Structures are given as C-alpha cells and as structure tokens.
Amino acid sequence: MSIWTELSGIDYRHAYVETGDVTTRALQAGPEDGEHVVFLHGTTGHLEAFVRNIPAHASAGYRCHAIDMLGHGYTGKPDRPGEIPAYVGHLIAYLDAVGAERAHLVGESLGGWVGSWAASEYPERVASLQLLCMGGTKVNPAVMERLKTSTRAAALNEEISYTRDRLRLLWADWDEELGDELTQVRYEIYHHPDFQKNLHNLLALQELEARERNLLRQDRMARIKAPTLVVWGNKNPLGDVPEAEAITAAIPGARLEVFNECGHWPQHEKADLYNPLSLAFLSKSS
C-alpha cells in the first residue's frame, strides 16, 4: 500500500490555488456540486495526513479539500508568525477562492484549533466541525518543548531518522504500510530551504507569550454553534483524554468519541473506525 494506491480509486486533482497573497497546495476530490469538506493538518504537517480519508468522503459525494495550511508543506510562506487569526484568514481566503460559501471542517491538532477559531468568528461559513486530537486549549511547556525540539531536529538534520522519529511521535504504533513513504514526503518538505527559513514562524505557537494570546478559552468555545464531533486517541502523546472531555463540555452540544490503542492521528491510525463515524456525523450535520 502507498499514498498512490490509497488514492487510485478516485478522480482527484493536485492543485495550486491562488489564495490571497499566497499560493495554496490542495488535494481536491469528489463531485464539484457536493458539500465542501476541508481537512486541516497539525503543526508542521501537510495534506498527506488525510490520504486514508479523502477516498471515502469523496465517494460519499462530498467535495473534499485537503490543504497545506499557511506556511506549511508547499503552500506559500509569508514571513510572519503563524498565529491562529492568520491561519483562519488563510482558510477563509481559500474557501472564497474555491467558491465555498460554507464548509464542514475536519481539523487534526493545530487544524482543529484553527477550525474552532473559524467557527467562533465565522459561524455562517462553518457547517460542522470535527476536532481530532485538537490542540490550543492548554499551555503545557513540556509538550511545547517536545514539539519544538523534535521538529527542529528533523528539519535541520540531514539524517532521515530524525524525520521518522518526528512522525512516530504522533502514532501509538508505527505504520508499517505508509510510515516510510510519509517519512520521505515529510523529509522533502522539511528540507526545502523555504521551509527551514520559515520554521520559526511555524513554531510560533510553541512560545509561551504567543500561545497565551491564541488560546482557545472557554468563552470562545462556548460561542461555537456548529455541530461538533471530538475524536481522541487514548494514547495521544500530546494530550490525555480529560483534555478532550473538557473540550467537549465547553462546546455546546459537542460529542466525544475515544479510540483505543490510538495516538495523535486518529483519522489515519484508525481510518476504518474514523471514516464511517465521520460520514454518519456529516450526514446528520448537512
């Protein structure tokens, strides 16, 4: 199994979309008249995080967009700190560029943080919200330092084992099918000169002062009106289940699903559980 074979059963487009002042890389699939579903990855991640989810959602009739977020992957890299309002502005600009008045948002880690903020600021643009091991509700210096150290080591060291270790940090168990290929994809991204030059901006939210002013506080989460599904791994290395329970309690009407033997990438590690769960949720939220 490879990324190519994961996608081989669907008609998809690897696109570069002019989005405000940057060019955005996107994987688009599904009928153009389908409801829009936008997939948002985590810190220093990239759209390949959703290769096990796009085919199921496109085949179910949704217009799918997995994007490299602002400054990430092969999307443009303006020289400014990656803070949440900037990511949200980029997301809204992308929706405008593809003609999506409303979209279902699926956000993993940083992507969930961005999706939640967008739902609180632009409720008319967000049809529903899925938060997969979302970050942004806590200040945990040990986790922040771990992310900074592991990411810098992966990006600034020529030895690919550092990139593999950064990816392995996210999973409860090593992915024997796609692990090496995803490591190679990430290695190429991390070792592009523009990515290395922009790395301090991508890690801005791991600095205390910036994180404090971007935190998802209870009053903001209470403003979210979109139907919300919280998905968590019981072995998430970046946040324990009580954090997910607190998020679920803070968002009106939110529902929590916890996957056993699962780390920080539930959509990938447990795609066989996640895809039908997501499709059922989307069906009820349409």
Name the β-bridge partners of 65.
28, 38
Residue 91, exposed/middle/buried by CB under 10 A (0-12, 13-18, 19+)? buried
Residue 118, exposed/middle/buried by CB under 10 A (0-12, 13-18, 19+)? buried
Name the β-bridge partners of 23.
18
Torsion angle defined by CA atoms of residues 220, 224, 229 and 234, in that order, rounded to the nearest 10 degrees: 10
Say how far apart CA 252 and CA 120 lie, in whole Å.
Answer: 12
22-29/12-19 β-pairing = antiparallel
Look up residue 30 and give its two tokens.
């599904």
Q: pTM to 2 decimals? A: 0.97
Which stretches of the chain drop beneath a pLDDT of 50? none
| Edge-to-edge strands, sheet with 228-233 | 12-19, 22-29, 63-67, 36-40, 103-108, 126-132, 228-233, 255-259
Say how far apart CA 237 and CA 225 lie, in whole Å.
Answer: 29
Look up residue 285 and give its two tokens.
């939220």
Instruction: State whether residue 52 is helix, strand or coil.
Output: coil
36-40/103-108 β-pairing = parallel
The pLDDT score that the predictor gives to residue 251 is: 98
Instruction: Give the angle 159-164-165 at the CA atoms, nearest 5°.
Output: 100
The pLDDT score that the predictor gives to residue 286 is: 82
Distances (CA, A) of 207 to 211, 212, 247: 6, 9, 22
The pLDDT score that the predictor gives to residue 10 is: 94
What domains are there in the chain, each with its CATH number?
3-137+217-283 (3.40.50.1820)
Contacts of 48 (CB under 8 A, 6+ apart): 3, 182, 185
Contacts of 167 (CB under 8 A, 6+ apart): 179, 182, 183, 186
The pLDDT score that the predictor gives to residue 20 is: 87
Q: Under the phi-then-psi rule, with left for phi > 0, alpha for psi from -120 to 50, and beta for the rest, what region is 99?
A: left
The pLDDT score that the predictor gives to residue 154 is: 97
Look up residue 283 and give its two tokens.
């069906």
Span 201-212, pLDDT tens digits: 999 999 999 999
Number of helices (H) and strands (E) in the chain: give both, helices first: 13, 8
Query: H or E segment at 114?
Result: helix 110-121
